[in-house]
A and B are shown apart, each in its own frame.
Chain A
Amino acid sequence: MSRFTYAPAPQATDVVDIRSSYGLFIDGEFVEATGGHRKTVNPATEQVLAEVSDASPADVVKAVKAARRAQTRIWGPMPGAERAKYLYRIARLIAERSRELAVLETLDNGKPIRESRDADLPLVSAHFFHYAGWADKLGYAGLGPDPRPLGVAGQIIPWNFPLLMAAWKIAPALATGNTVVLKPAETTPLTALHLAEILQQAELPPGVVNIVTGAGATGEALVGADVDKVAFTGSTEVGKAIQRQVAGTRKSLTLELGGKAANIVFDDAPLDQAVEGIVNGIFFNQGHVCCAGSRLLVQENIAEPLVERLQQRLTTLRLGDPMDKNTDIGAINSAEQLQRITDLVAAGEEEGAQRWSPPCDLPEKGYWFPPTVFHGASQAMRIAREEIFGPVLTTLTFRTPEEAIAKANNTPYGLSAGVWTEKASRMLWAASRLRAGVVWSNTFNRFDPTSPFGGYKESGFGREGGRHGLEAYLEGAR
C-alpha cells in the first residue's frame, strides 16, 4: 500500500447533454439520414452513448450541394475580414464550452480527461483563432496577390483526436473561402456533432459546414461526390484507396497517414527529460497518435540503463477510468483496434522480442491494453515496421550517429521523429538528415497551430497548420 494514494477525482459528466440520437448536419440544420443508424459507445465502459446516423450516398450528395450553394453564393464572395469574424466567434465559443467538449471527447474516445482538457481542447480553439487571423491576409501569405479558394472540400477524419482533427480540417478551409463536408470517424462522431451546434450558435451561414456521419461507405461516397478537394487523415491503406479513387479527376488531394516514428536518444541527452519524452511520445493518447514515437532508438552504451529507468518511470503511470482527473492512460478506442494491437504484440513475441509491462490492473469492462515495451527487437520484426497505433514501444539500439539516421529513415513512413542530445551541432546534423515532416528537438508530441504538420513517403503529402496549411485550400498554390 502506497503512502500517498490519490482518492478518485472524477470529472462531473453532467456538464454535457448527450441526445439519444443525432441526425446529419446539412445546410445549417440537423436532418434525418436515409442510410440507417449505428450506436456509438464509451470504450471505457462499453455503454451506448447515443445513436448516430449513417449518411447514404444520397445524403452525401445533398450535403455537397448545400456546400456548393453556400460556397458560390455566400462564403466564397464574402470578404476575408467578414469570414474572420465567424471564425473568431467559433474559436471563442469552443473555448467557452471547452469543459463540456472535453468531457464529451473523453466519453466517446476513451482518452484521459487530463489530455482532452489540457491538450485537445486548447489546441482546437487555438487552431480556429490562428486561421481566423489569416482570413483577411491571404494576399500576404506568399501564395500570390489574390489566391482563390478551391470550392467545396470533402474532409474525412480519424478517431484518435476527433475534435482536434475536425478543427485542423475546417479552420483553414473556411479561412480561405472554401466550404466543407466533414465525415467524422464512426466510433467518435459526437464532438463534431456538438461542434455543429456551436456553428449554429455562431450563426455561420447554412451550408458552409456540413457534417455527415457514417463509416467507410459514407467516406467513399464523399470522395466520389462533386467536391473540388479531398482531405483525409487516417490509415495509409485507406489513403492509397482514396488516391486511386481521385486519380484522373480534377480533385486535389492531401493525405495525412500513418507513421512509425523514431525517437533517437544519444548518450549526451538530457536523460530525465528524454525518459519523459519517450513516455509522452508513445503513451500519450494510448499511443493512438499517427506521429507517435513508437521506435525508440537508443545509443548502445546507454541502452540498458536508460530502458531500466524508463521502466521504473512506467510503473508510476496511472491506467484506468478516463474520467478521473489523475488518469494517465485511458481506454483503447474500439474492440477492433484492441484486437489489432493484441495481434501485433503477439507477433512481436513470436518473432522473439521480449515483452515487458508494468504491473497494472486492467478494468474488467471496456477495451484496455497495458503500456508495453519490447526489448531485443530488430528492424526486421513486424513490431518495428508496422504501425501498431497503441501503447507499445519497440526499443532498438545504434552505435554511431550515421547508424541512428539510417535506421530512423529505414521505414516506408516519414511523419515525425525525435532527437535527444544536449549538443546543438549534433541536433542540427540529425534533423537535416531525417526524412520526416516534423522533427522534435529534445521534446516529443508538441503541437502548435502555427507549425506545419505532415508527412514524407507513405505518411502522406500536404501540410496542415501555419501558413503552409493555407496552400492545401488555395487555387494555384499547390
Chain B
Amino acid sequence: MTSATTLMGLHSLPGPDADDAVLARFLHGLPGVDEVGAEARVAQLATRSIKNESKDWALDMLVRMIDLTTLEGNDTPGKVTSLARKGIRPDPEDPSCPSVAAICVYPDLVADVAAVVAGTDVKVAAVATAFPAGRARMDVKIADTTQAVADGAHEVDMVIDRGAFLSGRYGKVLEEIVAAKQACGDAHLKVILETGELATLDNVRRASVLAMIGGADFIKTSTGKIAPAATRPVTLVMLQAVADWRAATGRMVGVKAAGGIRSSKDGIRYLVLVNETAGEDWLDPDWFRIGASSLLNDVLLQRRRRRSGVYEGPDHLTID
C-alpha cells in the first residue's frame, strides 16, 4: 500500500456489507473536489491539439471504444439488428475500420442483438435494474438483470438508486450493486451513477468509490436520459477515482462516459483526459468506453477525410 492511498482516504475500505453509518463516515472522509479547479483543469486539457498520425490513432480508438446505443421506447428488433450490423462493420467502404466495442440496448432486445454479433468481438450490453430511473423493488431489478444475462448480454449497465444515495442510505445503494454484480455472473457490471442527479463533484467521487466497493467492473456517468449527461469535469473526477482505486487495491476499474458526446473533437478531448489523468493504461476499450449514437458517424466522416482529404456529406454514411 502506497502512502498516496492514505492521502486519498482509501487505506481502510468498508466491506460490501457495511451499514449507512460506516459508509457515511468513510465516504464523507474522502478528499473534497473543488468544482472551479476541476473545470479549469478540463478547460486546459481541451486545448490539446491532436494532429496527423495521432489524430488517426485517436479516431480509430474512438470507434473501438464506442458502446453504440439505442434506448428508445420505439426501438424494434429491426432497428437494433441493423445497429448491430453497423457496429460490426461501421464503414462498409473501408475494411480497415475497426468494430465498435458493444451494442447497448434495452433488455428485451438483447436476444436479437446477440444473434447478430455472435462470432464477432462486439459485445452486447443491456441496461437493466429498472433503467433509467431505478425506481423498482430490488427483486424486480434483479429479475431484469438475470433475464438480460440469460438472453446473452455480456455487459449489464445498472443504475444506482439516486434517491437512496441523496438521502444518505448508502447501505441500500451498495446492497443493490452487490446483488446486481452477483446476478451478472460472468457478465461485466457497469454502474451508472447518473451524475446529473448527484449534482456535486464531491458526490461523484463518493458514488464512484461506493460502486467500486460493490464490485463494479466499470463506473459510468449517465443514462443519457437526464441533462447534463456526461461532462468532462465529472469524467475527470471518475478517472481520478479509478486511478486511486488501483493504487489502493491493485484492481483496475473502467470508466464509461455516456450521453452528449457527439463530435470527434469532443471524443478526442475525452481521450486526452484519460491519457493525462488515469494514464495510458486506461486508453483501451477494456477500460474506457463512450456511450453514444451519433458520435460514430462523425468519427467515420473524419476518418474518411483523413484518408481522402475531402469532407463527404452525411448522406454518404448510413443512418441506422
Contacts and interface: CB of A to CB of B under 8 A. Distances in A.
B37 A308 contact: no
Nearest to A3: B280
Contact of A6 (B32, B40, B50): B50
Contacts of B8: 271
A226 interface: no
Nearest to B56: A7
B58 A276 contact: no
Interface string B21-45: 0000000000111101110110000
Interface residue SS majority, chain A:
loop
A442 B54 contact: no
Contacts of B272: 4
Interface footprint category on B: 35 or more
A272 B53 CA distance: 32
A272 B4 contact: no
B7 A8 contact: no
B276 to A, nearest CB: 5
A390 B210 CA distance: 42
Contacts of A277: 37
Given A7-B53, A9-B51, A2 B36 contact: no
Contacts of A309: 4, 7
B4 A308 contact: yes
A308 B240 contact: no
A302 interface: yes
Contact of B34 (A270, A304, A306): A270
A276 B40 contact: yes
B7 A272 contact: no
Contacts of A302: 7
Interface footprint category on A: 20 to 34
A308 B4 CA distance: 7
Given A305-B3, A305-B7, A326-B48, A273 B271 contact: no
A273 B3 contact: no
Pick from B2, B8, B51 the residue with the most CB of A within 10 Å. B51
Contact of A306 (B2, B7, B47, B237): B7
Contacts of A2: 280
B96 interface: no
Contacts of B5: 305
Nearest to B5: A305
A442 B34 contact: yes
B76 to A, nearest CB: 38
B7 A422 contact: no
Nearest to A328: B44
A5 B41 contact: no
A2 B33 CA distance: 29
Given A7-B54, A305-B6, A442 B36 contact: yes
A312 B2 CA distance: 13
B31 A270 contact: yes
B4 A273 contact: no
A272 B31 contact: yes
Contacts of B58: 4
29 contacts: A3-B275, A3-B280, A3-B283, A4-B57, A4-B58, A4-B272, A5-B54, A6-B48, A6-B50, A6-B51, A6-B54, A7-B51, A7-B54, A7-B55, A9-B49, A9-B51, A270-B32, A270-B37, A273-B41, A277-B37, A305-B2, A305-B7, A308-B4, A309-B4, A325-B48, A326-B48, A422-B32, A443-B34, A443-B36
Interface of B: 2-8, 31-34, 36-38, 40-41, 47-55, 57-58, 61, 237, 240, 271-272, 275-276, 280, 283
Closest 5 A-B residue pairs measured CB to CB? A273-B37, A305-B7, A9-B49, A270-B34, A325-B49
Given A6-B50, A9-B49, A326-B49, 4 more contacts: A4-B275, A270-B31, A316-B276, A325-B47
Interface of A: 2-9, 114, 118, 268-273, 276-277, 302, 304-306, 308-309, 312, 316, 325-326, 422, 442-443
